[in-house]
Chains A and B, each alone.
Chain A
Amino acid sequence: EADIYQTPRYLVIGTGKKITLECSQTMGHDKMYWYQQDPGMELHLIHYSYGVNSTEKGDLSSESTVSRIRTEHFPLTLESARPSHTSQYLCASRGGGSGANVLTFGAGSRLTVL
């Protein structure tokens, strides 16, 4: 069973609100990722991190920001949510060794902005 947790699972908020989506993993993985996915559609990489204090923007431009102060924690923040931010946000991590390229995903946070 995956040891990566996302909260909240579902969130409905109004336009202009600030939100933070939490992601934590207990596997000690250095690399963590945020993907954005509309229902039934492809996954778009929006942020990733090599390790503590490292963050990079992904291939899809996003108004969100991330931080990596601790290895196990990789939160994503939207300062002012808009309806265009409505989507599912998937957090993933990647370890080393024989499974170095394998992504383990959390259950996702489904965000609806009214």
Chain B
Amino acid sequence: GQQVMQIPQYQHVQEGEDFTTYCNSSTTLSNIQWYKQRPGGHPVFLIQLVKSGEVKKQKRLTFQFGEAKKNSSLHITATQTTDVGTYFCAGNTGGFKTIFGAGTRLFVKA
């Protein structure tokens, strides 16, 4: 079945350092979304990418969708303590099911 792999599992950074998480799908995706889950909270939608090679930015966050629509990345520039949480990618192949990656847990040391 469809699988979405996400690395790294954990990332510890010093405040001000950059952070990147990567997502790879075993099949071509029609779209990919990114969600953030704060400790003790629930996933909250950040962004959706639909087009091959698409790049979107939200302040310090940059999202990319690969040319083959099978991989994606989230890059945070100059992390802050408010960035702490788990970042999930989630992919659709056109059906009703959304398959989540395992998530990357970000720890930021002040």
Contact = CB atoms under 8 A, between A and B. Distances in A.
Contact of B102 (A31, A41, A101, A107): A41
Interface residues of B, number: 23
A58 B99 CA distance: 10
B33 A102 contact: yes
Given A59-B1, A107-B42, A101 B97 contact: no
B43 A103 contact: yes
A103 B88 CA distance: 12
Interface of A: 31, 33, 35, 40-43, 45, 48, 50, 58-59, 90, 94, 101-108
Given A41-B103, A104-B45, A105-B43, 11 more contacts: A41-B102, A42-B102, A43-B43, A43-B103, A45-B97, A48-B97, A102-B45, A103-B33, A103-B35, A103-B90, A106-B42
